[in-house]
Structure 1
Amino acid sequence: MTQLQNKLPSLQEAELARLCSRELSAVLETRAESQQVSLTDKRGQIHNVSIPVSALRMLVDVLTELGEGNAVRLVPVGAEMTTQEVADLLNISRPTLIRFLDNGELPYHRTGNRRKIRYVDALAYRNKLVNQRHDALDELGALDQELGLGYE
């Protein structure tokens, strides 16, 4: 797991990120596989670099998040996460996550005495929880309507 930034961006960093995000998305060639980008080093020398468009799209997403004042973490899809990282992703406590793991609700494996969860498994479980919450809300809404407790 690569932490790109450990702290929230300053107001100046956020403003610069917003500006960069807008400018980069305006020139992004979405139908191309790669795009040439020019960078100037500290000596003023220009370097042309060919970057995959998928990476540039991701950079726009990162800049957008920074522009909104958020810290950013890059998680490789095949990455393994600690129980605390997964608990944070699911917005639940670590003991609750451990209970889910012990009940077999979420796959994991042990590395030494530590439990590791694949990022894709944690994301799939989060999507499952979100869908369950939506279904419960739909059911409550239907009950409200049925009992005449809803808004007319």
Structure 2
Amino acid sequence: MSIAVKQNSEALVQAARESARNLSIFLHTHADIQEIQIGSGTGDTQQVHIPTQALHLLREILVELGMGNDVRIIPVTAELTTQEAADIINVSRPFLVQLLERGEIHYHKVGTHRRIRYDDLMAHKEKSDAARRQAMDDLVVQAQEMGMGYD
């Protein structure tokens, strides 16, 4: 299951910003479940009990939408196609397949098709990002040692 939310108007962006701010006020709690009231445009209201964890996720979605970003929610147990996985980590599908074949990302086959678990993909991304940050830090240190003007 994957849920995609796309922004398409300034009014929606503004509404998302305001909603995120308003929701943030109520999320400083240790309660596991919150009660919120949802109203329709016709004046009907409904009390809803929502896990606080879900409200934190909703706030993060609203923050992203408030910045004009599209949002996709993917369960960590989801199995992705190679194209979906490549899109998520912003690489080409052939490059992703090379990573799979080199054993850098765990995958399994369903028939002849490769499937990647979302959490395995994110573990690789975090490891790759950390290595990239370390390489940049090393380059900065090296530039400083060589007196290249980076103080």
Q: TM-score, normalised by structure 2?
A: 0.91
Give the equivalent residue in structure 2 for 1:89. Answer: 88
Deviates more, 1:76-85 or 1:57-66: 76-85
Which structure 2 residue ranges, 5 or more long, are not aligned? Answer: none
- State the identity as a percent: 42
Counterpart amino acid of residue 77 in structure 1? V
Distance across 2 between alignment mates of 1:127 and 1:134: 10
Deviates more, 1:42-51 or 1:70-79: 42-51
Deviates more, 1:116-125 or 1:89-98: 89-98
Which structure 1 residue ranges, 5 or more long, are not aligned? Answer: none
Deviation at 1:28, TM superposition (A): 2.7
2:128 aligned with 1:143, yes or no?
no
Distance across 2 between alignment mates of 1:119 and 1:20: 29
Any conservation in 2 of the 1:40–1:46 contact (CA below 8 Å)?
A: yes
Distance across 2 between alignment mates of 1:55 and 1:134: 31
Deviation at 1:51, TM superposition (A): 0.6
Residue 42 to residue 16, structure 1, CA distance change in 2 (3 Å): closer
Give the equivalent residue in structure 2 for 1:75. Answer: 74
Counterpart amino acid of residue 84 in structure 1? Q
Counterpart amino acid of residue 99 in structure 2? F
Any conservation in 2 of the 1:9–1:70 contact (CA below 8 Å)?
A: no
Counterpart amino acid of residue 92 in structure 2? S
Distance across 1 between alignment mates of 2:28 and 2:150: 47
Deviates more, 1:22-31 or 1:60-69: 22-31
Give the equivalent residue in structure 2 for 1:134. Answer: 133
Q: Give the paired residue count.
A: 151
Structure 2 residue matching 1:8: 3-state secondary structure: coil
Any conservation in 2 of the 1:14–1:66 contact (CA below 8 Å)?
A: yes
Indicate the RMSD between aligned Cα atoms, in angstroms: 1.6
Distance across 1 between alignment mates of 2:28 and 2:17: 19
